[in-house]
């Protein structure tokens, strides 16, 4: 059973920063494309940033481009999301995902294949 666990969420003022972390119990962690998705109340889950297995390909949604940075440490089986200049509209539940599709223009879950964490709440007060 693969376990995906996020951490690092919390309450922060607008303009502040948070760093999310995600660990996954995958035997070949480095072979998986990974991503961060978020969901706000009443909205669907959207892929905001993904990274290829080797780290050469990254994707950022327009809403976070220039403010968020995705990175991975394969030696530690860990994925990160550095979030700067946070806005109230960034408030959401953030989910880590393993086994995703990623290109320069798209980031998406793969039906029946993507592993999900339980999510970590990020709340940005204005």
Q: Express each pLDDT in 19-61 by its tens digit.
A: 999 999 998 999 999 999 999 999 999 999 999 999 999 999 9
pLDDT at 104: 87
How far CA 62 is from CA of 44, 67, 113, in Å, comes to: 16, 10, 26
What is the torsion angle, in degrees rounded to the nearest 10, for the CA atoms of residue 110, residue 49, residue 20 and residue 65? Answer: -170
For the stretch 74-116, pLDDT in tens is 999 999 999 999 999 999 999 999 999 999 899 999 999 999 9
Of the candidates 64, 125, 66, 59, the one whose C-alpha atom is nearest the C-alpha of residue 97 is 59
């Amino acid at each position: 059973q693969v376990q995906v666990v996020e951490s690092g969420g919390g309450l922060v003022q607008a303009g502040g920063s948070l760093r999310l972390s995600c660990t996954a119990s995958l035997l070949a962690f480095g072979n998986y494309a990974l991503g961060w998705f978020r969901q706000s109340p009443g909205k669907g889950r959207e892929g905001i940033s993904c990274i290829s297995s080797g780290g050469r390909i990254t994707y950022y949604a327009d809403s976070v481009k220039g403010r968020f940075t995705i990175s991975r440490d394969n030696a530690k089986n860990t994925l990160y999301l550095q979030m700067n200049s946070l806005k109230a509209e960034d408030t959401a539940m953030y989910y880590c995902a393993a086994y995703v599709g990623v290109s320069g223009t798209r980031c998406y879950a793969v039906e029946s294949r993507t592993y999900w964490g339980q999510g970590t709440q990020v709340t940005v007060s204005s």
